[in-house]
Amino acid sequence: MKLLPLLEHTVKGKVWDCRMCGQCVLHSTAMTCPMTCPKTLRNGPCGGVREDGHCEVKPEMECIWTKAERRRHNPANPNSWEEEFAHLRPPVDNQLRGTASWTNLFTGRDRQTPVGWAGGTIADSVNPEPALGEVDDITTLDAGFHVRNPLIIVESDTAGATQ
């Protein structure tokens, strides 16, 4: 599996300046990588875009969202891409950094979001083990007792802004 991230980075790094966030959203951002934004903004431009459409932080660089806005209406794009452009993209999962988004796409891992993001609560999203079920609040467990955050898979269309 170490080979795949390397291969992915070689290809996408050259073409899109890929930063290996491991949860590629290029198709929904008009093939413009939001991780190249100095603020890594995945949901549109910040309020600091310069008059010439360039970046607040790097004046020599065109704002990636100015670029994306220009590309989004390209008739060559599939319709679904344009629709997804307007969706609210979830927060970056920092655990996926450096992993191959191709693998994560295939396994669905890149569409997993924290339970609360989709409006759910931990209590109603998992069936805790009996021992754990007796614990009222996992945060009250003794220090050193680690419970991995349970994750649920969210369909990409419900991850959008339309709730």
3-state SS, the chain, equals CCHHHHHHHHHHHHHHCCCCCCCCCHHHHCCCCHHHCCCCCCCCCCCCCCCCCECCCCCCCECHHHHHHHHHCCCCCCHHHHHHHCCCCCCCCHHHCCCCHHHHHHHCHHHEEEHHHHCCCHHHHCCCCHHHHCCCCHHHCCCCCCCCCCEEECCCCCCCCCC
Q: Which of 16, 31, 66, 71 binds other proteins (CB under 8 A)?
A: 66
User: Residue 146 Cβ, how far from other proteins at the closest point, in Å?
Assistant: 14
Q: Which of 91, 98, 108, 133 binds other proteins (CB under 8 A)?
A: 91
Residue 31 binds other proteins (CB under 8 A): no
**Most distant pair of Cα atoms in the chain: their distance:** 60
Residue 161 binds other proteins (CB under 8 A): yes
Nearer to other proteins, 8 or 85 (CB): 85
Q: Which of 24, 90, 109, 110 binds other proteins (CB under 8 A)?
A: 90
Stretch 100-139 residues interacting with other proteins (CB under 8 A): 114-117, 119-123, 125, 138-139
Q: Which of 65, 84, 96, 112 binds other proteins (CB under 8 A)?
A: 65
Residue 63 binds other proteins (CB under 8 A): yes
Nearer to other proteins, 9 or 62 (CB): 62
Nearer to other proteins, 27 or 70 (CB): 70
